[in-house]
């Protein structure tokens, strides 16, 4: 099997934009655990934030991001993100993305694309492709990657663990910095674990949305990169900050469907069942307040009124034809369930949406382990702070994938020698007698996290969640070392660990800030700090019993 210059784990906007750039300099392997179109990128509706209007400014976008981040953003990295925005849009266009263009009159003013506004933004700066921006970006990137002879894509190849010095053959181990040499991944089709080595490894595996019972994320969002990095010895940071999108379509028993923030940017108003615009009393920006504030307000209003959902009123925002033109997919989805958004309110509830924390990285997306990088939702760059500003996530993936590559090129890592490493030892494990147990464990995790580690938390609920997760984790650990490898077990192992990291991080934060609201500590501390967790050197919980 070949040894590569770079291995990318994940096939969303962060992973594929990195792969396309890196392919100019060497051989790249992209590992994706399902098909290359899976993940959260293709689900993004609203768009990608960038200063494209001469009437807007970098300073305003930076300030909006800092305000949303509730005092925890790293300003220098926010500035990197925002300043690189226009060039990132041009890169995506060069790769084939087709964004909605501005009218001829607006283009004459120097604005090339139709720009919309979202919550927390002081200007209209969201570049979009109707209401399917992520889908269009994913299409363009996949097409570009498939045409590139220097990029190899392995689908249905879930990563299991990072390869480090402990995986070297006897007598080959080396002293010095802790390094990552590649990834062990399961070839699902052939049912065997393969060793993939590279000079640099880049984790672009997305977030942890599947830890919650209600999420806008794809089924693949199980925190794989975060968990693998933590087990290998990298630090994770700010895992308590799970963003709940305020508005997903309320339809019990059906998959969660995101109702884009762009609808509120278009004039949509949040109302309770009595028709009261309850956000008017909560925040000066009303229904366009930052996501953490809107999600908590909806949660509080549901509890106050005893109603299972709130409503988004678009009836004063244009005719049916106009709304269908602006939001064709959302309009069709609502219509398929009997809701004509031009005449009826859309029922909405919050859902887990984005992990603002992740693998701790520097301004070049480098982790604490040599030759290991993390980009996109799997990382914690500090640009989102305690609450992500809408449509900054796609931008982060493009901007920091470039910075990661520049750092790799500067450090010039060498390809590892395959002869120095052990192939995966399967121990000839037998199949689990009942794989349905993995589904049951997943349901328990998701229910626990939703009810005990959700939008509003308490010390009691966090302690109870930690207790439940400890038991589940022990069983998963035993199964991992007792039964043969299969995708559900790999994901469950990672998701359980990430859920525990979220709870531990939340327990350490003795305040309420941004997305983390604890009724026992309702005030925000004057001093801001990040929550950093590392695997203790003496820990035995992640080793073979």
Catalytic residues: 291
Contact 246, 295 (CB under 8 A): yes
Where does residue 440 fall: left (phi above 0), alpha (psi -120 to 50 degrees), or beta otherwise? alpha
Contacts of 182 (CB under 8 A, 6+ apart): 7, 162, 163, 195, 196, 197, 198, 201, 416
- The token pair that represents 373 in the structure block: 């990088």
436-452 helix and 487-508 helix, angle to the nearest 10 degrees: 20
DSSP state of 369: S
Sheet-wide strand order for 115-116 = 48-49, 126-127, 115-116
| SS3 annotation, 430-451 | ECCCCCHHHHHHHHHHHHHHHH
Q: How far apart (Å, rounded) are the C-alpha atoms in residues 344 and 510?
A: 42
Q: Minimal CA–CA distance to 393: which of 360, 362, 367, 358?
A: 358
Q: Quick check: helix, strand or coil at residue 89?
A: helix
Contact 502, 453 (CB under 8 A): yes
């Amino acid at each position: 099997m070949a040894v590569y210059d770079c291995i990318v784990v994940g096939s969303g906007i962060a992973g594929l934009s990195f792969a396309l750039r890196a392919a100019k300099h060497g051989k790249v392997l992209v590992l994706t655990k399902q098909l290359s179109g899976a993940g959260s990128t293709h689900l993004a509706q609203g768009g990608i934030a960038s200063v494209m209007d001469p009437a807007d400014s970098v300073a305003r976008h930076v300030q909006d991001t800092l305000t949303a981040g509730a005092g925890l953003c790293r300003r220098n990295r926010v500035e990197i993100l925002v300043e690189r925005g226009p060039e990132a849009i041009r890169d995506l266009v060069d790769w084939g993305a087709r964004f909605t263009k501005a009218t001829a009159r607006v283009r004459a003013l120097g604005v090339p694309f139709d720009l919309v506004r979202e919550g927390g933004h002081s200007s209209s700066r969201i570049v979009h492709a109707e209401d399917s921006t992520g889908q269009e970006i994913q299409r363009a990137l996949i097409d570009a990657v498939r045409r590139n002879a220097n990029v190899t894509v392995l689908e249905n190849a879930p990563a299991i663990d990072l390869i480090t010095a402990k995986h070297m053959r006897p007598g080959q181990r080396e002293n010095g910095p802790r390094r990552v040499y590649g990834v062990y991944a399961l070839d699902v089709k052939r049912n065997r674990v393969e060793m993939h080595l590279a000079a640099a490894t880049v984790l672009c595996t997305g977030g942890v949305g599947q830890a919650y019972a209600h999420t806008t994320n794809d089924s693949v969002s199980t925190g794989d990169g975060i968990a693998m990095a933590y087990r290998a010895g990298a630090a994770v940071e700010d895992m308590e900050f799970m963003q709940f999108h305020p508005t997903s379509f309320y339809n019990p028993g059906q998959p969660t469907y995101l109702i884009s923030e762009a609808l509120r940017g278009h004039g949509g108003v949040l109302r309770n069942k009595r028709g009261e615009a309850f956000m008017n009393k909560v925040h000066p920006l009303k229904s366009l307040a930052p996501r953490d504030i809107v999600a908590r307000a909806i949660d509080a209003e549901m509890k106050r009124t005893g109603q299972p959902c709130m409503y988004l009123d678009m009836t004063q925002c244009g005719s049916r034809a106009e709304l269908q033109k602006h939001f064709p997919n959302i309009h069709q989805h609502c219509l398929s369930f009997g809701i004509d958004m031009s005449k009826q309110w859309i029922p909405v509830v919050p859902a887990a949406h984005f992990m603002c924390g992740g693998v701790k990285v520097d301004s070049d997306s480098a982790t604490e382990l040599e030759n290991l990088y993390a980009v996109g939702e799997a990382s914690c760059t500090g640009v989102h702070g305690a609450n992500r500003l809408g449509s900054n996530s796609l931008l982060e993936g493009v901007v920091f994938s470039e910075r990661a590559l520049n750092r790799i090129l500067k450090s010039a890592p060498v390809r590892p020698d395959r002869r120095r490493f052990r192939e995966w030892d399967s121990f000839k494990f037998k199949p689990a007698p009942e794989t349905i147990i993995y589904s049951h464990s997943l349901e328990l995790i998701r229910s626990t996290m939703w009810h005990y580690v959700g939008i509003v938390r308490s010390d009691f609920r966090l302690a109870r969640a930690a207790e439940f997760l400890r038991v589940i984790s022990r069983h998963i650990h035993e199964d991992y070392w007792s039964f043969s490898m299969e995708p559900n077990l790999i994901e469950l192992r990672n998701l359980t660990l990430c859920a525990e990291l979220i709870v531990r991080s939340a327990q350490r934060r003795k305040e309420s800030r941004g997305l983390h609201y604890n009724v026992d500590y309702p005030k925000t501390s004057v001093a801001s700090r990040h929550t950093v967790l590392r695997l203790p050197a003496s820990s035995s919980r992640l080793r073979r019993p």
